[in-house]
Amino acid sequence: MSYIDTVRNYCEKHKYEMLEVANVKGKEFADIPYKTLLKILNRLEGEQVITGVSRGIYFIGKRYVSEERIISKYTNDGRGMLVGYSLFNNIGLTDFQDDKIEVFTNAITANQHTIGRISLKRVDLKFNNAMVDLISLMEIIDAGYDIVDCNYVAYIEIESLLCKSYTDDLFNKIVKAIKYKYSTILRLSQLLDQYRIGNICLDLYKEEI
């Protein structure tokens, strides 16, 4: 089978999915020289078999690629989560709309990638519900009352709810993958003590740094 047939067959089997060159070049297309692969992708883009979304990322098909589809690709099935103002909007802290959509994801190979106004940051974690809740807590603590148009009553209520997701094991995984300020961890420790949730988060953080 020729190189281009190999890529065509892959595209046929993965219609309406995202194709990240960095992910497939050493796997499905390991036998294809990198420069040859890029030429094939350029040709298939010209034939409208694939649609360029960002450098090194394609949508398999010729339809318009919505932001929702891109976000789903990098967040569904434990692959990631929205952070920043998209998170704050979703949990009811503010109605302020940021121009940038921030995503933590384990589904990219580079440390960071930008697709339009979507900013992807690689975080090597499995994003199950408990992990998402604890990261959400740390993100709102990290932002504090600097969140634009923050609903402070909701902020306090959400903090108390999300504290229930805390375990030392989850926290330890998070601080190995995401760098937070000491002041954020101190505030977390104070909150957990306030709600009588046992923790050694300060000790774990100090070990990591």
Euclidean distance between CA atoms 39 and 6, whole angstroms: 14
Residue 151: φ, ψ to 5°: -85, 100
Instruction: Break the chain into its structural domains and give their ranges.
Output: 3-60, 69-208
DSSP reduced 3-state for 57: strand
Could you confirm whether domain 3-60 is CATH 1.10.10? Answer: yes
Q: What is the CA radius of gyration of the chain?
A: 20
Claim: this prediction has a pTM higher than 0.85:
no
pLDDT in tens, the chain (209 residues): 799 999 999 999 988 888 989 888 888 899 999 999 999 999 999 999 999 888 889 989 877 678 898 899 899 999 999 999 999 999 999 999 999 999 999 998 889 988 889 999 999 999 999 999 999 999 999 999 899 999 999 999 999 999 999 999 999 999 999 999 999 999 999 999 999 999 999 999 999 87
Residues 6+ apart with CB under 8 A from 47: none
